[in-house]
Structure 1
Amino acid sequence: MIRNAGLVILILSLILSCKTGRNTQSSTAMKLKNTPKKEVVYQVFTRLFGNTNTTNKPWGTLAENGVGKFDDFSSLALKQIKDLGATYIWYTGVPHHAVITDYTAYGISNDDPDVVKGRAGSPYAVKDYYQVDPDMANDPAKRMQEFEALIKRSHDAGLKVIIDIVPNHVARKYESLNTPEGLIPFGKNDDTSVDYKRDNDFYYIPNTEFKIPEWQNGYLPLGGELSDALDNTFKESPAKWTGNGSRNAQPNQNDWYETVKINYGVWPDGGIDFEPLPQESAQWEIKEHQEFWTGKEVPASWVKFKDIALFWTNKGVDGFRFDMAEMVPVEFWSYMNSAIKIKNPDAFLLAEVYNPSLYREYIFKGKMDYLYDKVELYDTIKNIMQGHGSTDHIAPIVEHQKDIAVNMLHFLENHDEQRIASPEFAGNAEKGKPAMVVSTLLSSSPTMIYFGQELGEPASEDLGFGDPSRTSIFDYGSVPSVVRWVNDKKFDGGKSSTSELELRDFYKRLLNFSTQNSAITGEYADIHAHNRQNTEWYNDKVYSFVRWSDTEKLIVVTNFDAQDTFGFELQLPESIIKKWHLSNGKYQVIDQLYGNQEGELNVYEGKAELRVDIKPLQSFIFKVIQS
């Protein structure tokens, strides 16, 4: 046992990082992804995608509001997602989580609505990691076979498959009836007489019973429906810590009360019961990480989650999105991710980490392929889209992330965030266009879009527990723009509006261009700062940069302003002229997004200028034609 080891490790890390600087980490990043390939992740909330029932009653039951099925992802549907530009599909909400719908006929115990969020339940309160959600199966008795068939259909369509693993917490009533023989479900062998023990899976509050939160601000489970199951009690003795770390036997309504926190060998006071990684592990290859853990005793929860990840890897799952990864020690990630990568070197490992000071720890030591770029790029671009921010703030982020740029996944929507078209975000899906061009083309890191984003879904429905502006992940319902595009399972947009189809066409053009053009996995340089200083009428509502490879040279210009057209002589810095080997003369440029805009890049006496007249929310991807 090492008590207060975290402080010691932090001090040593700071000392060593000051000595080594960023060059070491930069070379490590290149080792991780030395031949980048642009990936596009299509995130879909699985139980909503194919549901064409438009009732959308608040707190509606499955029978009232309907539910999508694995089978709704037909070969035709998957082909359309692939044609949109996706290379991966992230099926969100697949592992069996706590639900209120009665499946006792299939040997599944009922869950208590007092500790379930919404009518359909949170996909991040997993009840059985070795089974899939019964809601999405035509025959719940064969739900695993139906999901395995979906994996195969996805692969046949040219899409790789990602699912969630939620390492920080599980459902308060975790009950893995499908744990393979020889493995042990979470909590089965715990010593509940103590608050902590290394091989306990949970933290306990000995001799104290769990209490339901005090409901406030008019909230009641199931919207206040009268139900025998809603008795304001849930038997849990002794009480466990709640998923977000609350140590109260009666968590707050705003705590993650439906979940319990997993113990990774971290004492309540912060001490650790595992060997810390040495600083040089940031430069290790995957095999060296695995060798480090070979023969060492690790907490029981580590082994359980490793077995879970390998179980799904063996089923053909190509990668994982790890929920709230920063709430779990980086050493665990070294242990589990190295095991996954030994089994599948090409596994796609994406983590939710919101603290920028931890990014490099989780990439280099934890062996994550990708992290959400939420706090820096997403938050900055959202601010610009809302009219509050300046494009001047983008380039410093790119510079700060230079050594890990390839590892930072970019997005504008996901299941946690507000929809672009919602009044609470931008109120207009068109405002996402320049943002998507910047987010997608800024680096070779993956781009992610959330189903319905390409149709301008505003998420205005009040389905119960979930709030409008975010498509609810807790309730039964459907997504209106997606229903129109699904068009009675024709998946052709036959009921979509003209504006929805035009927006989808924009996404299709942009995403496919990003995966097919060599410049997007080539070099990058900012030209925004140069133009801010030297170009008349160029302002901080516009953003520009260049991308290039040996065969392609691109100039990207976007206008975030929703009202004004801007005209200016865009300039390339002398350094770019030299790197591109441009001689004096005029070069034709052709927009690659829609192909209907041409111009001339005039190079003379160490200068290069391109006349740009850019309309509100317009973007150009100019290709320089060199004979």
Structure 2
Amino acid sequence: MINKKNIVAGMAVTVLFSACKTKDLKMNTSKEEIATEKKTVVYQVFTRLFGNKNTTNKPWGTIEENGVGKFNDFTDTALHEIKDLGVTYIWYTGVPHHALVRDYTAYGISNDDPEVVKGRAGSPYAVKDYYNVNPDLAVNPANRLQEFEALIARTHKAGLKLIIDIVPNHIARKYEGKNNPEGIKDFGANDDVSVEYKRDNNFYYIPKSHFEIPDGDVPLNGEKNPLVDGVFDENPAKWTGNGSRKVKPDQNDWYETVKVNYGIRPDGSKDFPELPAGFDQKSYQEHFAFWQDKDVPDSWKKFKSIALYWTAKGVDGFRYDMAEMVPYEFWSYMNSAIKMKNPNAFLLAEVYNPNEYRNYIRLGKMDYLYDKVETYDKLKDIIKGKSSPDGLSDIQKGMSDIEHHMLHFLDNHDEQRLASPEFAGSPERGKPLMVISTTISTSPTMVYFGQEVGEAGNENAGFGTRSRTSIFDYIGVPNHQKWMNEGKFDGGQLSDSEKNLRDFYKRLLNFSINSSALMGSYQEIQSVNRQNHAGYDESLYSYVRWSEKQKLVVVVNFSSEKTSEFELKVPSEIISKWNLKDGEYQLTDQLYQKDAVQLKVNNGEGIAKVKIAPSESFIFELK
């Protein structure tokens, strides 16, 4: 799998927009507003894989050999169990119709050339038709849109909200909008292909050049296919999705996609109106009003129409792939339009450049961004023994003004599975990371399906590589399938340890969505404990969270071998903020309700004797 983060890190010209420095600004959402909210928990499902009961798992297997999940597999029972886990949103990944190697010509769908498709099932980020859904996901492909609309209704009936992907930076090399609403023309239909760039072209071109298939990947692992002939008809050639301007992209380029033009000239300058100074402090209504009389590039209009189409169908929000490769002025334009239709829309962006976080939140009107390169990467380094937990405090301090907008996760379709040897090494070792990820801030929490039952991504799926659950192949997800239990969704095939793991996730997530303290204040107590107390070693991390109604002390042990016994210090500053008088107070663990620990406050400082087992975590509530 291509590492998108490494590509982005080296993009100077590819990103094609200049940074606007907006540091030290007030956050969009006030602490008072956040305190009235409840924690959000997103459950990401790879829709094609979720309901697949087939356990064959043949590398490069077909649907007939390896099976595929359907929209209908998300039954009322399945959705109820997901909600009961402590989930508030489902992210159905891979819903829009993307390029794949399967014959659906009987349904009016053209075949895709395997030489510009990754894997057999195809990448969900090479969208072929934005106004319909993946035919693989339907029992009857002719009614695939209606089947997805029924899933929207079932999801809402279960008390859940849902988001789907929009991939604004790139689309499939062979995009065919056969389901466009009236008045919507296809991408590229009106492009002037004689020039590299024109503002209202949807693509960038390499005039008088034919596209050439990259060397390296062997389509379908060498299987014969009439479309595998060494040629893909694209004349003139277009820029590739990651910004490559080569007629013949590299094997590691996103060669199955073409880059969308948003009015950024090839030299990186902007060919559209820019937001005036001070718009980082403006509401989405004011952003919407700003764009009403502005002439904007054609690609902006096309993607706004796509977003509003799905919003009208009841989709509650979107996850935007590689959002930082598209200028934040466009996001202001589109997100403000979405919010005018649905003020509660959930807008999540994949952004990896910390220097741009505030621009995409404040100018792009994003609700949430991936907290990947700071919190996620730090936790991964800690559990792999590359770093001390102490640095978590610096990360929280550095993002204190935007922490609510930074979505936390440990697993997703792009990353190595938490339980894999390449990450935590076991589900148990992932537990303290999950407690930190869920409780350290007011941000939303995301869980990737199978994470809660210890899925390690060990399969050789074909194009996809082990340690990640493949997004390119037809494959089963073994631990998830054991929980699914042939469609009963009761965990009937799980081992005792897997059942206990899911119980841990259920306890943690349900506590988080009902805790007022987790939407309140944070302060680390790591530094005072590391400095002043013997027995409190570098594998431990602690902090406090509180609201008017609830006070929490969180302690985790990252060590998978060592039991630690120490006196935990709650400094005078916290004791004062909590208005605690000298005396004894009970600290009761909220995960497993173990025997209470006594917090003794003397001369305005608190001490609690704690014994914590390997990979154990406590969420103590002050009683």
TM-score by length of 2: 0.96
Match of 1:156 in 2: 157
* Superposed counterparts of 1:314-393, under 5 Å: 314-393=312-391
Match for 1:562 among 560, 563, 569?
A: 560
AA matched with 1:317: V
What is the SS of the residue equivalent to 2:393? Answer: helix
Unmatched 5+ stretches in structure 2 = 1-12
Instruction: Verify the 8 A CA contact 2:520 2:547 in the aligned structure 1.
Output: yes
Deviations along 1:111-147, whole A, 9 cap, x unmatched? 0000000010000000000000000100000000000
- Structure 1 residue ranges, 4+ long, deviating more than 6 angstroms after superposition: 6-9
Is the counterpart of residue 58 in structure 1 residue 59 in structure 2? yes
Match of 1:492 in 2: 490
Aligned partners of 1:412, 1:563: CA distance in 2, in Å? 22
Aligned partners of 2:267, 2:293: CA distance in 1, in Å? 27
Aligned partners of 2:270, 2:314: CA distance in 1, in Å? 34
Aligned partners of 1:7, 1:427: CA distance in 2, in Å? 39
Match of 1:194 in 2: 195
1:417–1:272 Cα change, 3 Å = same
AA matched with 2:104: Y
Match of 2:50 in 1: 49
Deviations along 1:564-611, whole A, 9 cap, x unmatched? 011110001111000111111111111110002311000011211000
Match of 2:413 in 1: 415
Aligned partners of 1:354, 1:292: CA distance in 2, in Å? 28
Aligned partners of 1:255, 1:279: CA distance in 2, in Å? 36
Deviations along 1:376-405, whole A, 9 cap, x unmatched? 000000111112211011000000000001
1:29–1:244 Cα change, 3 Å = farther
Match of 2:6 in 1: none
| Larger displacement relative to structure 2 (222-231 or 67-76) | 222-231
AA matched with 1:147: F
Instruction: Verify the 8 A CA contact 1:41 1:89 in the aligned structure 2.
Output: yes
* Superposed counterparts of 1:251-290, under 5 Å: 251-290=249-288
Aligned partners of 2:422, 2:541: CA distance in 1, in Å? 24
Deviations along 1:210-253, whole A, 9 cap, x unmatched? 000011xxx41111112222111100000000000000010001
Aligned partners of 1:579, 1:179: CA distance in 2, in Å? 58
1:7–1:61 Cα change, 3 Å = closer
Aligned partners of 2:612, 2:188: CA distance in 1, in Å? 60
Aligned partners of 2:576, 2:246: CA distance in 1, in Å? 63
* Superposed counterparts of 1:215-294, under 5 Å: 215=216, 219-294=217-292
AA matched with 1:574: S
**Post-superposition shift, 1:524?**
1.1
**Post-superposition shift, 1:39?**
0.3
Instruction: Verify the 8 A CA contact 1:36 1:406 in the aligned structure 2.
Output: no
Aligned partners of 2:573, 2:35: CA distance in 1, in Å? 25
Aligned partners of 1:382, 1:174: CA distance in 2, in Å? 38
Match of 2:395 in 1: 397
What is the SS of the residue equivalent to 1:279? Answer: coil
Deviations along 1:164-186, whole A, 9 cap, x unmatched? 00000000000010010111111
What is the SS of the residue equivalent to 1:494? Answer: coil
Instruction: Verify the 8 A CA contact 2:93 2:165 in the aligned structure 1.
Output: yes
1:474–1:524 Cα change, 3 Å = same
Aligned partners of 1:267, 1:516: CA distance in 2, in Å? 48
Aligned partners of 1:32, 1:528: CA distance in 2, in Å? 28
Match of 2:186 in 1: 185
Match for 2:514 among 510, 513, 516?
A: 516
Instruction: Verify the 8 A CA contact 1:523 1:548 in the aligned structure 2.
Output: yes
Aligned partners of 1:8, 1:146: CA distance in 2, in Å? 40
Aligned partners of 2:585, 2:493: CA distance in 1, in Å? 44
Aligned partners of 1:227, 1:125: CA distance in 2, in Å? 20
Is the counterpart of residue 501 in structure 1 residue 502 in structure 2? no
Match of 1:111 in 2: 112
**Post-superposition shift, 1:523?**
1.2
Aligned partners of 1:547, 1:568: CA distance in 2, in Å? 21
Match for 2:459 among 458, 461, 465?
A: 461
**Post-superposition shift, 1:420?**
1.4
Identity within the alignment, %? 62
Aligned partners of 1:549, 1:420: CA distance in 2, in Å? 31
Instruction: Verify the 8 A CA contact 2:213 2:230 in the aligned structure 1.
Output: yes
Aligned partners of 2:538, 2:551: CA distance in 1, in Å? 24
What is the SS of the residue equivalent to 2:344? Answer: coil
Instruction: Verify the 8 A CA contact 2:407 2:445 in the aligned structure 1.
Output: yes
**Post-superposition shift, 1:8?**
11
AA matched with 1:620: F
1:547–1:28 Cα change, 3 Å = closer
| Larger displacement relative to structure 2 (533-542 or 295-304) | 533-542
Instruction: Verify the 8 A CA contact 2:166 2:320 in the aligned structure 1.
Output: yes
Aligned partners of 1:227, 1:72: CA distance in 2, in Å? 31
What do you get for the CA RMSD once the two structures are aligned?
Answer: 1.5
* Superposed counterparts of 1:76-91, under 5 Å: 76-91=77-92
AA matched with 2:177: S
**Post-superposition shift, 1:296?**
0.6
AA matched with 1:365: L
AA matched with 2:405: N
AA matched with 2:176: E
What is the SS of the residue equivalent to 1:391? Answer: coil
Instruction: Verify the 8 A CA contact 2:38 2:516 in the aligned structure 1.
Output: no
Deviations along 1:241-282, whole A, 9 cap, x unmatched? 000000001000100000000000000011111011123000
1:172–1:621 Cα change, 3 Å = same
Instruction: Verify the 8 A CA contact 1:48 1:68 in the aligned structure 2.
Output: yes
1:435–1:114 Cα change, 3 Å = same
Equivalenced residue count is: 610
Instruction: Verify the 8 A CA contact 1:29 1:404 in the aligned structure 2.
Output: no
Deviations along 1:535-577, whole A, 9 cap, x unmatched? 1111221010111111111110000001101111000111100
Match of 2:425 in 1: 427
**Post-superposition shift, 1:163?**
0.1
Aligned partners of 1:332, 1:373: CA distance in 2, in Å? 22
Instruction: Verify the 8 A CA contact 2:196 2:204 in the aligned structure 1.
Output: yes
Instruction: Verify the 8 A CA contact 1:591 1:620 in the aligned structure 2.
Output: yes
Aligned partners of 2:377, 2:368: CA distance in 1, in Å? 18
Aligned partners of 1:482, 1:7: CA distance in 2, in Å? 41
Is the counterpart of residue 172 in structure 1 residue 173 in structure 2? yes
**Post-superposition shift, 1:34?**
7.0
What is the SS of the residue equivalent to 2:278? Answer: helix
Instruction: Verify the 8 A CA contact 1:585 1:604 in the aligned structure 2.
Output: yes
TM-score by length of 1: 0.96
Aligned partners of 1:8, 1:172: CA distance in 2, in Å? 24
Instruction: Verify the 8 A CA contact 1:100 1:110 in the aligned structure 2.
Output: yes
* Superposed counterparts of 1:299-318, under 5 Å: 299-318=297-316
1:33–1:601 Cα change, 3 Å = closer
What is the SS of the residue equivalent to 1:186? Answer: coil
Aligned partners of 1:539, 1:255: CA distance in 2, in Å? 44
AA matched with 2:416: Q
| Larger displacement relative to structure 2 (121-130 or 219-228) | 219-228
AA matched with 1:285: S
